[in-house]
Amino acid sequence: MLQPSEIERVLVVMAHPDDVDFGSAGSMAKLVEHGVHVTYCLVTDGDAGGSDRDMARSEMAAIRRREQTDAAAMVGVKDLVFLGYPDGRVESTLQLRLDISRIIREVRPHVVVAQSPERNYDRIFASHPDHLATGEATLSAVYPDSQNPFAHPELLAAGLEPWTVREVWVSGHPVPTDGVDVTEYLDQKIDALLCHVSQHANPAVMRERVTEWMGRTAQAFGLPEGRLAEAFRVVHVS
C-alpha cells in the first residue's frame, strides 16, 4: 500500500453520498493532512435515500448533494463530482465506464478508492447492488479503459490523455489486505457522517457503532488495543 508521502492525488468513486464517509473518511482525512489532493466522484445523488415518502425525490437529491459536500469539508476535501445516475438503478455499463474514465483522466490520480464488486455475505448491507455495479465499473475504468488510448476514443479527441493509476484501494471487500490506522481522525470521520442528517434515524448511536467497527478492524490487523482502523483490499495496477 502506497504511503501518503508517495501519493499526490487520490480519486474516490462511490455510488451514494455517505458511502465514502462510512468506509474511508478517516483515511481521507489522514491523506489530506499529509498534503494529498483528494477528489470525490459520486455516481448517484442518493435520491432513493431517506424515509420521508412525501418528499420529492429531486428535493432529496439536492439535500444529499449538500450533505455530502458538507461531509467532505469535514475531512478537508473540496473537489466533488456528481454524475447524476439514478439511485438504486446503477449498472456497470459502458457509459458509466466512460464517465469514470473521463474523471480519472482529468484528475490523474495515483490511487483510486473504489467499492467492492464482490458481494460480502457477512456484511450484506455493504453489498448494495449500486455498490457492486459502481465497483465493477470503476475497476474496469482503471484497467483497461483509462490507460488505453483506443478505449473511449472520444476522450482522446477531447484532449484527455491516457492515465495509469498505481493502486486501487477497494473499500468493503470481504477479504481486505491492509488496515489504515485512523485513530486520530475519528472525530473528523464522525463529524462527516453526522452531516448526512437525512439518513440517520438515530444519530446518537453513530459514534459508538462506528467506533466499535473500527476497533474490530484494528484488532484484525494486529494494531494495539484502543487503535482504530479502516480496511481496504489493495490492488496493484502499475
Question: Which CATH number is 189's domain given?
Answer: 3.40.50.10320
Q: What is the DSSP letter of 11?
A: E
The set of cell numbers assigned to 136 is 465493477
Percent of the chain topping pLDDT 70: 100
**Residue 203: pLDDT over 80:** no
Q: pTM for the whole thing?
A: 0.95
CA distances from 104 to 44, 98, 113, 115 (A): 17, 10, 11, 15
C-alpha cell at 129: 447492488
Q: 189: domain range?
A: 4-236
What number is the average pLDDT over the span 141-154? 97
As a whole number, the mean pLDDT across the chain is 95
Q: How many domains does the chain have?
A: 1
Nearest-Å Rg of the Cα atoms of the chain is 17
